[in-house]
Amino acid sequence: MRDTGSDGFHALYPSSYRSVAQARHAVADFAIDCGFDFADVCDISLAVGEALNNATEHGHASGGKFGLACSFDGVDLVIEVSDQGAGFDVAKLLAKSDMPSPERGMGVLLMRSLMDRVEHDCSRGGTVVTLIKRRRLR
């Protein structure tokens, strides 16, 4: 289910890996419509894919859904991925003195390296990850 407006959209997807690709493609299409260049769309798609995978894997509730919201104000693309899981302590994850293993734990670091800002909120029940990418005029 996707509700689209002129400056953004909101959607709910079944909490499954099949939905991750659909949601990632919806964000990439929206970023293209907002005028982001190919390189930025690739970065956005990869970062959002990580957030969506995390929502599906760690935020899964039986029969649950994950939410996706995108908005664009002419400069900043704001993407929110929400899930119904128990949340996690992002400060603890980022404070680790050792790097995550190559097999696990790189998603948050990858999101932070590809986007201009990434925020995590676990205070509303579940987790909301906000990803922000600024459009640069070239």
Q: What is the mean pLDDT of each run of 10 residues along the chain (138 residues)?
A: 69 90 96 96 97 83 86 96 74 55 71 95 86 89
Starting at the edge strand found earlier in the chain, the sheet holding 128-134 runs 2-5, 8-14, 65-72, 76-82, 128-134, 117-121
pLDDT computed for residue 125 by the predictor: 77
**What's the whole-model pTM score?**
0.84
137 DSSP assignment: P
Q: Which domain holds residue 96?
A: 2-134
Which CATH number fits the domain that encloses residue 69? 3.30.565.10
Total domains in the fold of the chain? 1
Instruction: Calculate ∠ Cα 116-49-58, nearest 5°.
Output: 105
- Measured CA to CA, the distance from residue 74 to residue 98 in angstroms comes to 39
User: What pLDDT score was predicted for residue 5?
Assistant: 60
Residue 68 pLDDT: 97
Say how many CA atoms lie within 13 Å of 75 toward its Cβ. Answer: 1
